[in-house]
A = this chain, B = another copy of it.
Amino acid sequence: MGEARFSGAWAPPYIRPVFYLTGRMLLALAAAMLLPVAIDALTGDPNWRAFLIGSVITFACGFALIRMTRCQLSGGLTLRQAFLLTPVAWTTIALFGAIPLYISDYAQLRDSFTNALFESVSGLTTTGATVIIGLDEAPRGILLWRALLQWLGGIGIIGVAIAILPALGVGGMQLFRTESSDRSEKVMPRVREIATGIVLIYVALTVVCGLAYWLVAMPPFEALAHALTTVSTAGFSTSDVSMGRWDNATLHWIATLFMLSGAVPFVLYLRLLQGQQDALRDSQIWFLVSLLAVVIIAVAAWLIAYGGHGAADALRLAAFNVVSVVTTTGYATTDYTVWGNIMIGLFFGLMFVGGCTGSTSGGMKIFRFQVMIRMLQSQFLRLLYPRGVFPRVYAGRALPDEVIGSVVVFFSLYFICYSALTVALMAVDLDFLTSASAAVASLSNVGPGLGPIIGPAGNFATLPDAAKWLLCFGMLLGRLELFTVLILFFPQFWRG
């Protein structure tokens, strides 16, 4: 997770460093595969072999890749190399992550490479859409591997957001980087220290979350598996009915809290630990919290008035499901689509929102909505006062033009990709509600969609293979903030 530095000159796109770094990540993935080997061996499940073979293959390929592409990285990456690294690394890891699923003895994944890859991509991108029916009886190794992929994907995307995207000028994080670099030059001296700090915080949050789950309701394995997918706002469960399996109000509130903990910028925790109280003044946090409060209260009120729920019950259901969708976790306690068309519409809209920049959650992100609101305000003011000058201020400083440009273009591009994905899904003959909700559920990395097929009570297993491949692309596209993937389709990228 070192920062991508660029060699001064615009070097030709040698791809060796890209594959070298990808190879190193494969070694880490091979090591992670030993955990499912261990749990399967402990529980006497013969499926440990699949993970061991997968680990060996991954290690061998990673090792070969490193040997073939060994190079000096002290000069850093060029801009093109950095752009290439993100999609290449994520695609490669997702492919290798699918190997143990595909060679497993678990029929639903073994019989279809598409299914194995879908599950792996859905894991690594922290989406959490599943093709497995009968999770409650699935082998533990498989369940753990799905959870681990999500946990690795969660910390991976924080790394990308902090170390890669700002340098690329994608994702608006360049603003936060400027902010932190001249405010706390001495407090947070180097990227490596920030990285270590954030990883430790991520581990700590996961451990605390898992312990809480275990103490309140869950058996140890389920507590671990859910902790891994809660803090990463990823949403794979060990049960077909997700968190609804445990009818325990305390558990649901704990899950709500830890889903939220994964949707705030992780740099914030670091600052708080360093005693920077003003970190809490981050306007993203307050926007997110205010939005959640308003929506949760409205949904709870509606559930009390029309759903026949008691106040405590309604508040818990509303908080859990709203936080689950806005943080793009995708857990369910209940099928909220039975709450009526108004709730389907509301949750559909919430799927676009997402959490904060620099967190594990997906979606369009709170920061972009804030910039968009500033932009709309200044546009209307300009209509009223054509000769006026309206600086767009965010967090006490003027927003640079290039940040505004990139946010506004992202906004439009998101809707364009969303529409294109919806139409493409309809072209493989999915119905409108399934297509439209699957498109946003994958692009925003929420997971479950809407409707009888892929809703909170449904499953992606029955979709045609073409739809699964389209959704894999959508999940990667959304997870990597559109630009880093789409730039590869731009002819200029490959020229010169």
Q: Which of A414-435 contact B (CB under 8 A)?
A: 415, 419-420, 422-427, 429-433, 435
In the complex, A9 has a CB within 8 A of chain B: no
A345, B430: Cα distance in complex, Å: 10
CB distance from A453 to the nearest CB of B (A): 13
Inter-chain contact B483/A426, CB cutoff 8 Å: no
Q: Which B residues lie within 8 Å of A412 (CB)? A: 372, 375-376, 408, 411-412, 415
Which chain B residue shows the least CB distance to A387?
A: B10
Inter-chain contact A409/B345, CB cutoff 8 Å: no
Q: Which B residues lie within 8 Å of A51 (CB)? A: none
Q: Which B residues lie within 8 Å of A108 (CB)? A: none
Inter-chain contact A427/B383, CB cutoff 8 Å: no
CB distance from A333 to the nearest CB of B (A): 22
Instruction: Give which listed residue, B80, B384, B402, B420, contacts A493 with CB less than 8 A.
Output: B384
Inter-chain contact A341/B409, CB cutoff 8 Å: no
In the complex, A342 has a CB within 8 A of chain B: yes
Q: Which B residues lie within 8 Å of A483 (CB)? A: 379-380, 383
CB distance from A306 to the nearest CB of B (A): 11
Interface membership of chain A positions 449-491, coded 1 if the CB is closer than 8 angstroms to chain B and 0 otherwise: 0110000000000000000000000000000000100110010
In the complex, A396 has a CB within 8 A of chain B: no
Which chain B residue shows the least CB distance to A495?
A: B384
In the complex, A405 has a CB within 8 A of chain B: yes
In the complex, A386 has a CB within 8 A of chain B: yes
Q: Which B residues lie within 8 Å of A376 (CB)? A: 409, 412-413
Inter-chain contact B383/A487, CB cutoff 8 Å: yes
Q: Which of A146-154, A246-254, A346-354 contacts B (4 or more CB under 8 A)?
A: A346-354
Which chain B residue shows the least CB distance to A496?
A: B384
Q: Which B residues lie within 8 Å of A450 (CB)? A: 432
Q: Which B residues lie within 8 Å of A188 (CB)? A: none
Which chain B residue shows the least CB distance to A414?
A: B415
Inter-chain contact B492/A384, CB cutoff 8 Å: yes
In the complex, A382 has a CB within 8 A of chain B: yes
Q: Which B residues lie within 8 Å of A384 (CB)? A: 79-80, 83, 487, 490, 492-493
Inter-chain contact A349/B419, CB cutoff 8 Å: yes
Inter-chain contact A344/B492, CB cutoff 8 Å: no
Q: Which B residues lie within 8 Å of A372 (CB)? A: 412
Q: Which B residues lie within 8 Å of A431 (CB)? A: 341
Which chain B residue shows the least CB distance to A408?
A: B408
Inter-chain contact B406/A379, CB cutoff 8 Å: yes
Inter-chain contact A345/B411, CB cutoff 8 Å: no
Q: Which B residues lie within 8 Å of A413 (CB)? A: 376
Which chain B residue shows the least CB distance to A415?
A: B415
In the complex, A381 has a CB within 8 A of chain B: yes
Which chain B residue shows the least CB distance to A6?
A: B386
A346, B429: Cα distance in complex, Å: 12
Inter-chain contact A426/B79, CB cutoff 8 Å: no
In the complex, A131 has a CB within 8 A of chain B: no
In the complex, A12 has a CB within 8 A of chain B: no
In the complex, A255 has a CB within 8 A of chain B: no
CB distance from A411 to the nearest CB of B (A): 5
Inter-chain contact A429/B79, CB cutoff 8 Å: no
13 A-B pairs (CB sep. < 8 Å): A79-B386, A341-B429, A341-B432, A341-B435, A345-B423, A346-B426, A349-B423, A383-B483, A384-B487, A384-B490, A408-B408, A408-B412, A433-B433
A80-B384, A341-B427 are known; give 10 further A-B pairs, CB within 8 A.
A169-B383, A340-B429, A341-B429, A342-B427, A345-B423, A345-B427, A376-B409, A382-B402, A383-B483, A432-B432
